[in-house]
């Protein structure tokens, strides 16, 4: 399945708050659909699937991309779940979102695809580019680029700037200081269940 392009609010009603996917809030407390109001105890598989879907929809990944990142995380020393979240959080599109330069990750992806973003003075149009400590991220010195971003900066998607990033809101120049810590990940989920989901496949 390719990247999701359908109604985002329906997904957030089913899976809970996904700040990277949409800023909209639903007034309804139950999932969408005919049986949304029925109370059922989810199976262990359903719990793992739900956590996996949270990651997929929040970061805008296809199943193949997520599986590739899981395999990559398993090769790195440390907790696979935490390494996976660090890989996803350090993606360029997510970094733009966390800096407040875009209201959602799809919006950040559009900025990157349209070459509004420079990394170390080079235009980068690959959303999955892995930001590294020391990377300097800035918005292209074009009036149209800066106008769009300054509008988003007044109303960022997430209120708190993670401690591994810093930004000068006047010059629109940001810096990656370190790898993100688990406590600063912008989505509520149990990453161990995601690793378990793929280990059983």
Q: Is 65 or 158 the better-scoring residue by pLDDT?
A: 65
Confidence of residue 122 (pLDDT cuts 50, 70, 90): very high
Q: How far is CA 4 from CA 8, 21, 58, 61, in A?
A: 9, 10, 10, 8
Report domain extents, the chain.
8-87+185-199, 91-178
| Fold match between domain 8-87+185-199 and domain 91-178 | no
d(C-alpha 94, C-alpha 100), whole Å: 10
d(C-alpha 91, C-alpha 72), whole Å: 14
In the CATH scheme, what is the code of domain 8-87+185-199?
1.10.1050.10
The architecture CATH gives domain 91-178: Roll (3.10)
Could you tell me if 85 and 191 are in contact, meaning their C-beta atoms sit under 8 angstroms apart? Answer: yes
**Nearest one of 88, 87, 62, 59 to 1, comparing CA atoms:** 62
Q: Would you state the pLDDT for residue 1?
A: 40
Cα 13 off chain centre by = 18
- Ramachandran angles phi, psi of 139, nearest 5°: -90, 140
User: Model pTM?
Assistant: 0.85
Residue 163 CB-half CA count within 13 A: 4
| pLDDT per residue as tens digits for the range 41-61 | 778 888 899 999 999 988 989
d(C-alpha 149, C-alpha 55), whole Å: 25
Could you tell me if 6 and 65 are in contact, meaning their C-beta atoms sit under 8 angstroms apart? Answer: no
Q: Is 63 or 32 the better-scoring residue by pLDDT?
A: 63
Position 166 pLDDT exceeds 90: yes
Q: Would you state the pLDDT for residue 188?
A: 86
* Residue 92, helix vs strand vs coil: helix
């Amino acid at each position: 399945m390719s990247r999701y392009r359908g109604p985002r609010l329906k997904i957030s009603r089913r899976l809970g708050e996904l700040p990277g996917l949409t800023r909209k809030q639903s007034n309804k407390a139950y999932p969408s659909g005919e049986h949304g109001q029925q109370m059922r105890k989810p199976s262990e598989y359903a719990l793992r699937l739900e956590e996996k879907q949270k990651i997929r929809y929040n970061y805008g990944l296809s199943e193949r991309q997520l599986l590739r990142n899981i395999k990559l995380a398993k090769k790195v020393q440390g907790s696979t779940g935490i390494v996976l979240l660090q890989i996803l959080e350090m993606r360029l599109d997510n970094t733009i979102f966390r800096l407040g330069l875009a209201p959602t990750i799809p919006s950040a992806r559009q900025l990157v695809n349209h070459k509004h973003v420079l990394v170390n003075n080079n235009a980068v149009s690959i959303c999955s580019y892995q930001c590294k400590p020391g990377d300097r991220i800035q918005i292209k010195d074009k009036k149209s680029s800066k106008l769009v971003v300054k509008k988003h900066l007044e109303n960022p998607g997430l209120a708190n700037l993670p401690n591994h990033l810093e930004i000068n809101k006047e010059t629109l120049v940001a810096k990656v200081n370190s790898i993100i810590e688990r406590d600063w990940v912008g989505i509520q989920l149990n990453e161990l269940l995601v690793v378990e989901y793929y280990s059983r496949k």
